[in-house]
Structure 1
């Protein structure tokens, strides 16, 4: 099982060696595809990775070129750590099997997910003014705040279509 992560054009330029050409015959796992973008805090590269199905957000901080060879472990540990922080209890082995390996692909121009990511980046800029430097920013707490915001994940305009990313991820993982 492989998990596709679609990188934005900006991120694609930085991780050229990891990006594979897109093949349409690959099947996604239960988590579906993810989208990743890059942003900077104190001139340090950080990644905002969000799940397209649930809009669940993970922040990878201070990613250097040397970290790219172990990016799968960094992602899995950050994802598991965020799930534990958000009180979505599961074991690490299950997460590892659900994710499998990571495939970095070129952008898929998913406008809905890009819109969510841009909104989350604006929230991060606001909180950056509050906390100051990257070392003072509690990233797991900030990710949890973003994942706890009400979002619309349905096709209609019913109140039942509104949820939080945390609840959507709980539903997805506890099938």
Structure 2
């Protein structure tokens, strides 16, 4: 199993060595992800969002030396965020579904990019509120982001509004 992660141009410049050019692989049950970089007190943080569910995972203080272990860092952060959000899955099953991470150039997914930009605006408010990265409860803040209402579907019916947590639950119940 392989999981494609499409990066923004800003993040692509930071992880040039990890970027692959061939994207012929079909994504697993979790689908594709989009990643962007943002800074908190000059420390690099990543916001990685699932395109199907808009479920977000935040990786904090990522340095160049961490890139060789980025796969394990992502899996651990994703698993712990799921547990924090009350979604119980087995780590081994989740790790098998994620498989190997493949980083690609941007795919210009405007919907996911829009969600990420909105979430970064919300996160900017929390940066101002908490001050430094050490004072920020990252799992709680990511849970707040994932609890915001999102629109899925084509119509404007109330049943088309849900949260990212509910959407990722639907995806994860398939395995």
For the superposition of Structure 1 and Structure 2, which TM-score range results when normalised by the shorter chain? Answer: over 0.9
**Alpha-carbon distance change, 22 to 157 in structure 1, aligned in 2, over 3 angstroms:** farther
Q: Hey, what does 2:149 align to over in structure 1?
A: 150
Give, in whole Å, the separation in 2 of the partners of 1:22 and 1:120: 29
Q: C-alpha distance in 1, partners of 2:21/2:15? A: 13
CA distance in 1 between partners of 2:113 and 2:26 (Å): 22
For 1:85 and 1:173, the matched residues in 2 are separated by 15
Runs of 4+ in 1 over 3 A off after TM superposition: none
Alignment of 1:105-120 (within 5 A): 105-120=104-119
TM-fit CA distance, 1:28: 0.7
Matched residue, 1:66: 65
Structure-2 residue corresponding to 1:166: 165
Deviations 1:135-157 (CA, angstroms, capped at 9, x unpaired) = 00000000000000010011221
Shift of 1:22: 3.4
Q: Distance in 1 between matches of 2:30 and 2:57?
A: 14
Give the aligned CA root-mean-square deviation in angstroms.
Answer: 0.6
Q: How many residues align?
A: 174
Q: TM-score, normalised on structure 1? A: 0.98
1:90 aligned to 2:89?
yes
Gaps of 5+ in 2: none
CA contact (8 A) 1:22 1:106 kept: no
Structure 2-normalised TM-score? Answer: 0.98
